[in-house]
Structure 1
Amino acid sequence: MDNLDSPSARIDAEIALQKGKVSSLALLCAFASIASAAWYMWPALNNESIAIFNRLGPVGLLLASSLLLQDFVEPDARARGRLGAAGSLSWPAIAILGIDIFSTQGTEQIGHLLMFVVSAACLYTSREYLRGSLDAQRFRGIMTLGGLTIGGAILLSSNPEQNSIIVGALILGIAGLLVMKDLFGGDLDRAERKRFGRTLDALETRILNLQAQGVSLDQASSLCRNASDVGYKDPELGFSILAQAEEDIERTLALAEDITEIRQVCADTVEQASDIAPTAKKPQRSMDAGDRERDLGSLREAEMLYRRAKKLALNIVEHWATAEEQIAESSKLISSLEGSQHQQLHELLLQAKEALAKEDCLLALEIATTIPDHVANLGEASEGAQEAYKEAVEVMEESEGLDLKLWNKRLEDAKQHLEQGEFSLARGVSDGIVREVRKEREAMGDVQRALRQKKTIQKRWEGHVDAEAWEERLKDVNAAAKRKSWSHAAALLDRLTADLDALDVASGDANELLTYVQDEWTALRKKLEAAGIKAIDGERAACEKAVGNADVAFSEGRLEDTLNALGEADGLMEKLRRRI
């Protein structure tokens, strides 16, 4: 749907619709012309008094026009050519058929007048459709000549009157003038075409003479052939191509004089490169290929190959010796280095040697030059790994009282990585040992200090109902310390301390609330005595009991029971206040 709704699609659909309508109209007109021809010819077929020959001309014109109507639907190049040819061939004959206008009267005179109208239309069609190029003009002249012949034959065979003969002769004279103009006139570029032909002949003669002397001018010959194909039709374009051909000849001649000198210069450079690098073959191969192209006459290709050989040779002269020295130096530098960290250096050295074998000495020099920098960087990494390992050893030696079995194994792994040249891995393992051992030592110090204050910690839950649970947790810390699991002991101690701190906070809040309730109860009890509410009163006794239960629960560390008892006491005190 999107394609159908697009402007281009709608335009194409409208064009197709209009073409269909025009085609239908042309077909209808063609049938009408055929029917008219049949209607005009039918009386002559059934009546011997009417001469059939006299009616063949109009019938033929009607049938021919019915065939040409289809060319008006889509007037492409072929259709325009057919219409123009038909117009040029028919307009003189149709005009001759209308000269009887001077010897007839009435409707017949109108009919002959219409023949002049049709003839003018055919003349306009021929001049409009057959124009532009010289070939179209010549073709139009030939077709008009045919029409002139047909018109003359009709004029001579019809025995016209004197006035009609004069008009016919005038028409045929006009047609003859048009034929002469089309066949022999109208070529504005005739002088240029002749000059182009002379220039082309002279250039081709020069090319042949130079080729006879052994100069290869294939490109110039090809340009001359192209100019010959288009130059007579378009002299300006032909002259342009001939100028290119002449320029190519001059350039080739100049190059032929310089090619020997160019080869000598390039050959000297290649020979120098061969002395420096006897194994290098590319410069000499390029020189040999240039010699072959020179012998074949392709001087441009030969010059390109000579210059390529010189470029390759100069590269060898400037960089080959330096690249070999740098590769040798780098090879000595990493010959004793082993391990995964140094494997990359050996691979770089191999790449440099391969580049030199391919005669790319500049690339080989660039690769080999980077190897000493890599070695220096790995030396710094080695020093850093050794320092980290020494620090790990010192930390382990200073760590008495710790279980060092696991770290001893890891320290052995770090030493092995260091010996294998895996410096990054060795340093990572050593730094991890240092961090973990120091963390374990800190945990050991914290636990030991806490255990030395064991009694202080126990006093914090002394007298509590859940004192045994707290004691059990403290024993777990002590047991982990005896196993030298200092990190685990520190974690247990941190949780124990945090829970005790939370308990102290809650106990302080409950103590403040208990003191407040006790003070309130003391004051309220005096008021109850004054109001005559004695101790045997049920609500007073219950309140007294709730306050006592809260005090007992708090002393035993049962904070939840303390809060519940205080809440009950507060409710009863409120009831008693309302009774006063």
Structure 2
Amino acid sequence: MVLLPDYPQKTVEAHDLRVERLALACSLLLIAAGGWWLTRTIVVETDAVWTYGPMVILFASALLLSDLVYFGPKERSRLSAAANISWPSIWAFANLTYGSEDQTIAAVILFLVTIFLLWFTNQQLGNSIETRRWRGLTSIAGLAIAMAVLVSLSDNLILWAVVVGPSCYTMIPDLLVKDDDHEARTEFAGLLEQVESRVLALREGSSGMEQAASLLKIAREEGWSNPERGMKLISQAESEIERISAFSGDLDAIRADALEAVESAESITTEATGPRKSFELGDREADLGSFRDAELLYRRAKSKSEVIEKHWQAAYDSIATAESDISGHSGHQAEGVMAILKSAKEAMEAEDPVEALHIASSIPAHIDSIGSSDESAAKSLSDAEHAVGSAEDDIQIVTKDRLEQARKAMESGDSALAKGLADSVLRDVRSTSEAMQEVQRALRQKKQIETRFPEASRQDWSNRLQQVTESADSGEWVNAAESLQSLTNDLNAHEHSISEASELVRFVEDEWKSLRSKLDSAGIGPGDSSRMEAEKTVADAANALSSGDIDTCHAALALAGEHLESLGRLV
């Protein structure tokens, strides 16, 4: 059998519909019974309680019947409250109706209803403190209604005791019930009041109790519902109070020590305001309760004061001495020393006498270096002038201009620039002199150089040598020396290539002599075309070598090698 996917849901819905219809029918039946009871009392004149009491119970039962169908948390709460309110009144009616045989049966039925309602109430409202207190409150309403019934229908004290006794037996314990944390809550309340009083007393004489007060506030908010949590917060507040009290005593000693150091620093100079500012900020933080920040500020004020007391006067004297020494100097180097002196003054303005003393201590060495630089620059300039005078006709105008710039720099006090220019002039003169000597020595051996030129490219080599001569004639000795060096290097490389080619030519000639003997023996005479070609290429290689044409020589050697190889295969 295959069930449809929504079959269970439809089954439940159908069941709920049947239950709702049954509940509706029962409600209508109860309402009809109440209406019947009301019409009956019109005919039979009875007391008001007997007239309207059962009717109210029937109508209320009809209204609460739907809660039995759904029976959720809200429904159970309403039913439990209604049952707890109703059972004292029903118990009163049971005692009032007790009498003859028929009345006894009715009383027994009402007694059973009372027992059921009391049991239902205990089942639903007897599980926790909150539900028991709610049951106690509703029991007051039920007892009030029951007493109203008794007042209107009977003045029998025994009956009163029978009705009121069970109600009070269940109501009073419910109203006076205490949870498991009652003793802890009582202890918490007493300790909280005690610690709060202590905090108030301490806050009158000092500050810094804000954290403890905040912890106590949280404890008051959370401790009633969770006494254990409240006790922990109170313990933390007590620890904070003890810590602040101890810290406050230590802070007073630190403050007094810092104040003494600040006043001692102010006796040396009033320009340094940093220690006093740090001290005042420490007082402000202490007033706000930030003792740790206040301690740091007090210690900072003391540290700054000690530095000022120890180094301020020495730094001030060192700066004054340096300023006096540099006043007699001028020029670029003096300006550099003035910049260093300015840095020392800025360090003093920043209340850092240690750095200022360190900077000012280096100024005497810079001043001494100015004098030594002047002497060194004067010597370099003198050497450059002497060198230029010795080679007046052989140096370029640019070199003379640099010498003039060096003189002007020396006159303006820029000894470093003057020395640099003079040294460059001296280097140029020396390099020019060395180049001139090298070129002149080479030109005196011009014939020997020309004999090394290869015949095949003699004109090119001669042109390069002529360029060296022209550069020397125009006074460009450095360019002439560079051209001569290039010519010499290339000529040496060419001679090395000729040496290698000569060895190859000799090897090929020796091979050819040996091969000719073999060709004669094989009957290949001088008139053979291949032999004639080989003979010609070997001769061309020798001729190209003698003329210095290395490229042609290499090409002829390669061709000769091919011919020799082909002829070698014939023998």
Fold shared per TM-score above 0.5: yes
Distance 1:180 1:377, change over 3 A: same
Distance 1:90 1:331, change over 3 A: farther
Task: Return the match for 1:471 from 432, 439, 462.
Answer: 462
Query: Is the 8 Å Cα contact of residues 543 and 572 (structure 1) preserved in structure 2?
Result: yes
Residue matched to 1:179: 175
Deviation of 1:68 (Å): 7.1
Query: Is the 8 Å Cα contact of residues 86 and 126 (structure 1) preserved in structure 2?
Result: no
- 1:295-314 superposed matches below 5 A: none
Query: Is the 8 Å Cα contact of residues 330 and 368 (structure 1) preserved in structure 2?
Result: no
Distance 1:516 1:111, change over 3 A: farther
Paired letter, 1:49: W
Residue matched to 1:123: 125
Distance 1:345 1:96, change over 3 A: farther
Paired letter, 1:518: E
Residue matched to 2:398: 406
- 1:111-260 superposed matches below 5 A: 118-127=120-129, 130=130, 143-153=134-144, 170=166, 172-182=168-178, 186-188=182-184, 190=186, 193=189
Where structure 2 has 5 or more consecutive residues not aligned to the other structure, the ranges are 1-14, 38-54, 95-103
Stretch deviating more after TM superposition (218-227 or 513-522)? 218-227
Q: Deviations over 1:140-172 (max 9, x none)?
A: 77634322123435666699xx99x97995465
Tell me how far apart the structure 1 counterparts of residues 249 and 554 of structure 2 sit (CA, whole Å). Answer: 119
Tell me how far apart the structure 2 counterparts of residues 293 and 124 of structure 1 sit (CA, whole Å). Answer: 57
Task: Return the match for 1:371 from 360, 381, 387.
Answer: 360
Tell me how far apart the structure 1 counterparts of residues 333 and 17 of structure 2 sit (CA, whole Å). Answer: 97
Residue matched to 1:18: none
Task: Return the match for 1:59 from 55, 63, 69.
Answer: 63
Query: Is the 8 Å Cα contact of residues 385 and 426 (structure 1) preserved in structure 2?
Result: no
Task: Return the match for 1:482 from 473, 491, 516.
Answer: 473
Distance 1:390 1:58, change over 3 A: farther
Tell me how far apart the structure 1 counterparts of residues 348 and 541 of structure 2 sit (CA, whole Å). Answer: 96
Tell me how far apart the structure 2 counterparts of residues 450 and 189 of structure 1 sit (CA, whole Å). Answer: 118
- 1:321-332 superposed matches below 5 A: 321-332=313-324
**Are 1:42 and 2:42 matched, yes or no?**
no
Tell me how far apart the structure 2 counterparts of residues 550 and 308 of structure 1 sit (CA, whole Å). Answer: 97
Tell me how far apart the structure 2 counterparts of residues 415 and 103 of structure 1 sit (CA, whole Å). Answer: 145
Distance 1:181 1:241, change over 3 A: same
Residue matched to 2:42: none
Query: Is the 8 Å Cα contact of residues 91 and 147 (structure 1) preserved in structure 2?
Result: no
Where structure 1 has 5 or more consecutive residues not aligned to the other structure, the ranges are 1-28, 72-82, 131-139
Residue matched to 1:491: 482
Q: Deviations over 1:225-244 (max 9, x none)?
A: 98699569568566875897
**Are 1:558 and 2:549 matched, yes or no?**
yes
Deviation of 1:470 (Å): 0.8
Query: Is the 8 Å Cα contact of residues 444 and 487 (structure 1) preserved in structure 2?
Result: yes
- 1:351-366 superposed matches below 5 A: 351-353=343-345, 360=351, 363-364=352-353, 366=355
Please report the TM-score for the alignment, with normalisation by the length of structure 2. Answer: 0.64
Distance 1:188 1:306, change over 3 A: closer
Residue matched to 1:11: none
Tell me how far apart the structure 2 counterparts of residues 113 and 392 of structure 1 sit (CA, whole Å). Answer: 131
Tell me how far apart the structure 2 counterparts of residues 493 and 193 of structure 1 sit (CA, whole Å). Answer: 112
Deviation of 1:191 (Å): 6.5
Distance 1:182 1:306, change over 3 A: closer
Distance 1:569 1:364, change over 3 A: closer
Query: Is the 8 Å Cα contact of residues 44 and 52 (structure 1) preserved in structure 2?
Result: no
Deviation of 1:184 (Å): 14
Query: Is the 8 Å Cα contact of residues 37 and 59 (structure 1) preserved in structure 2?
Result: no
Deviation of 1:420 (Å): 5.1
Deviation of 1:556 (Å): 1.7
Task: Return the match for 1:548 from 523, 528, 539.
Answer: 539
Deviation of 1:457 (Å): 1.8
What SS does the corresponding residue of 2:548 show, helix, strand or coil? Answer: coil
Residue matched to 2:11: none
Query: Is the 8 Å Cα contact of residues 142 and 183 (structure 1) preserved in structure 2?
Result: no
Residue matched to 1:335: 327
Query: Is the 8 Å Cα contact of residues 37 and 63 (structure 1) preserved in structure 2?
Result: no
Tell me how far apart the structure 1 counterparts of residues 69 and 410 of structure 2 sit (CA, whole Å). Answer: 105
Query: Is the 8 Å Cα contact of residues 95 and 119 (structure 1) preserved in structure 2?
Result: no
Structure number, greater radius of gyration: 2
Residue matched to 2:451: 459
Residue matched to 2:438: 446
Tell me how far apart the structure 2 counterparts of residues 64 and 402 of structure 1 sit (CA, whole Å). Answer: 131
**Are 1:390 and 2:394 matched, yes or no?**
no
What SS does the corresponding residue of 1:461 show, helix, strand or coil? Answer: coil
Deviation of 1:288 (Å): 11
Tell me how far apart the structure 1 counterparts of residues 250 and 505 of structure 2 sit (CA, whole Å). Answer: 121
Deviation of 1:354 (Å): 5.5
Tell me how far apart the structure 2 counterparts of residues 146 and 347 of structure 1 sit (CA, whole Å). Answer: 92
Instruction: Give the total of aligned pairs.
Output: 505
Query: Is the 8 Å Cα contact of residues 414 and 429 (structure 1) preserved in structure 2?
Result: yes
Tell me how far apart the structure 1 counterparts of residues 538 and 423 of structure 2 sit (CA, whole Å). Answer: 62
Aligned-pair identity (%): 23
Stretch deviating more after TM superposition (417-426 or 546-555)? 417-426
What SS does the corresponding residue of 1:338 show, helix, strand or coil? Answer: coil
Please report the TM-score for the alignment, with normalisation by the length of structure 1. Answer: 0.63
What SS does the corresponding residue of 2:402 show, helix, strand or coil? Answer: helix
Distance 1:284 1:188, change over 3 A: closer
Distance 1:532 1:334, change over 3 A: same
Paired letter, 1:503: H
The Cα RMSD (Å) is: 6.0
Query: Is the 8 Å Cα contact of residues 227 and 242 (structure 1) preserved in structure 2?
Result: no
Distance 1:428 1:154, change over 3 A: farther
Distance 1:61 1:145, change over 3 A: farther
Distance 1:155 1:331, change over 3 A: same
Query: Is the 8 Å Cα contact of residues 539 and 576 (structure 1) preserved in structure 2?
Result: yes
Tell me how far apart the structure 1 counterparts of residues 550 and 308 of structure 2 sit (CA, whole Å). Answer: 95
**Are 1:501 and 2:501 matched, yes or no?**
no
Tell me how far apart the structure 1 counterparts of residues 363 and 17 of structure 2 sit (CA, whole Å). Answer: 96
Distance 1:488 1:174, change over 3 A: same
Distance 1:40 1:109, change over 3 A: farther
Distance 1:109 1:317, change over 3 A: same
What SS does the corresponding residue of 1:49 show, helix, strand or coil? Answer: helix
What SS does the corresponding residue of 1:465 show, helix, strand or coil? Answer: coil
Paired letter, 2:36: S
Deviation of 1:320 (Å): 4.8
Tell me how far apart the structure 1 counterparts of residues 569 and 176 of structure 2 sit (CA, whole Å). Answer: 145
Tell me how far apart the structure 2 counterparts of residues 34 and 441 of structure 1 sit (CA, whole Å). Answer: 130
Deviation of 1:472 (Å): 0.5
Query: Is the 8 Å Cα contact of residues 87 and 125 (structure 1) preserved in structure 2?
Result: no
Deviation of 1:525 (Å): 4.2
